[in-house]
Amino acid sequence: MDDHIYERVVAHPKYAELMSKRNRFALLLSAIVLVVFYSFVAVATLKPALFSAPLSEGLTWCVGLVAGFAIQAFAFAMTGVYVYRANGEFDALNRVLIEEAGR
């Protein structure tokens, strides 16, 4: 990218808005994911008997196995949430920013 255009993009107020919104959203999702993952590890280390307990009487599936599947589904869902917002709001802001700064 031309240095002049780069400087105009970085100096544009919409750039600060885009960066602020994107960073705030990414930090929020990161914090949520970290809390879930660390909670999983904390329960596994502090209450291992809970994870080895069967889901119900007569079932061979244990709580830890289902919790592991759930945490993977959660991580997949959080990735989808970020991609959905990035492809919508953040890309729209980016297009406006490039159009206005390119003039």
The answer as to whether 4 is a domain residue is: no
Supply the pTM of this predicted model. Answer: 0.78
3-state secondary structure of 103: coil
Q: Count how many domains the chain has.
A: 1
CA angle 35, 37, 43 (to 5 degrees): 95
The whole domain housing 68 covers 22-102
Write out the chain's pLDDT in tens, 103 residues.
Answer: 567 778 888 888 889 999 999 999 999 999 999 999 999 999 999 999 999 999 888 888 999 999 999 999 999 999 999 999 999 999 999 888 888 877 6
Closest to 56 (Cα-Cα) out of 71, 48, 70, 66:
66
The answer as to whether 14 is a domain residue is: no
**Host H or E run for residue 12:** none
Question: What would the two tokens of residue 95 be?
Answer: 């297009």
The answer as to whether 98 is a domain residue is: yes
Round to the nearest angstrom and report the end-to-end CA distance of the chain.
15
